[in-house]
Structure 1
Amino acid sequence: MAKTSIRTESLSYAYPDGWKVLSNLSFEIAPGHTVALVGANGCGKTTLLWLIAGLLEAESGSIYIDEIRLDRGSVRPLQRKLGLAFQHPDDQLFMATVRQDVEFGPHNAGYPEAEIARRAAEAMTRTACLHLADRPPYRLSGGEKRMVSLATLLATDAEILLLDEPTNALDPKSRRNTINLLRELDHTKLIATHDLDMALDLCDEVIVLHRGTITARGPSREILSNGPLLKEAGLELPLSLQR
């Protein structure tokens, strides 16, 4: 798979009521790297993912995908390189069956039926949910829904995965399965999460957001073992590092 970079320059965003949730964010994620985006509730993690996915338009600043600026003219072709998994899979799974949900992306991209079926089967096999193909999504467990939501991304041409709380509300087994799958994927990944143990286990680097700005960035263990830094951002040490 071709690997794709993300870069932002002086990125800012304000909600319609005037609240500036993100201010002057500049960072780069190298192709194939996995980066955690951490911070307290309301710090702008989800908003940043939506901006990079082209679902929101920045107030100011720029986003570059493989050095191509994301704007109204480039957003549609660039979105084919981007896969966004919502925090709640129920917001993403809306078709009558799992198979139809996984086929939705390649179908919209205009692939022939045989290629759509191949991509869907491959994605469901990779996420261990092929046996669920004919089930309605609302009948699935939380862990199964999470795997299906990831399958919907893997069936497309996405080279960047934007993942919003991928381990949220999962039981220990489903959480471990999700982490193992994400580790196997060679996509560029930006993961918004409160699961700091997952970030420590999985991610190359961590970006800390606090009050709409980046207050720290660095290797996962370096950032996530810094208690005072995390406390300043409204976070605690990962459980595995607490004594």
Structure 2
Amino acid sequence: MPHSDAEWFSTWFDSSYYHLLYRDRNHAEARFFIDELLLHLHPKPTTRLLDLACGKGRHAIYLSEKGYDVTGVDLSPESIAFAQQFAHEHLHFHVHDMRNPLPYGPFDFIFNLFTSFGYFANETENVVALRSAAAALRPGGKMVIDFMNTERTVRELVAREEKMVEGTTFRLRRHLDNDFVVKEISFTDKQGQERMYEERVRALSRERFEEYFQMAGLRLAEVLGDYQLGPYDEQTSPRMIFVLKK
């Protein structure tokens, strides 16, 4: 399925400035979340896991350190090239667009973590992506989608912010555009050129997600609200974490 080169995520995620801006993402918190998930889901030692939209592979690497057979896929060739240096017999990485069928399965668990969903301009493609994931799950397999709590995110949107990282000042502007939460990122690069990127994530409600799941043939088992796996509360939860079953 060919897709336009102009899709924001196909250029921004491959930029070294993307990795610079998000350099300080909390690794400890991510590992804690994964530990909690594994305790909660208790996969068997022989489990095959897919990290869908794995970025540079740090969560896939961590999962493989736990002894599971892990595959990581991501749209960004640069991120996958970086991840490949950690690959081994039970840890594989592939450049892959989640809208396309996954030839690497079947998997017992699919993880889609840290708001790596809802990027597509065409809403039906969200369902296409979920159907591709569902097709790669074993019957009885589970999928975890960790998304922002849209309700709270929209309510508390910080319109303007500046972040200085290693001498680069990133100017961030956030707003709602139709059905998307948009973050505009502008900065002057090391060559003195003005650069601008934007991130667009569809402001998906729980209800909308539930419609998607139904269309993809996935059953919603539970909704969790934070990385400690507390129950989801629309007003207060920082996250909206879906546990789905095929």
Q: TM-score range by the shorter chain?
A: 0.3 to 0.5
Q: What's the TM-score, normalizing by structure 2?
A: 0.36
Which structure dedicates a bigger proportion of its chain to helix?
1
Which structure dedicates a bigger proportion of its chain to strand?
2
* Higher relative contact order (CA closer than 8 Å, sequence separation 6+): 1
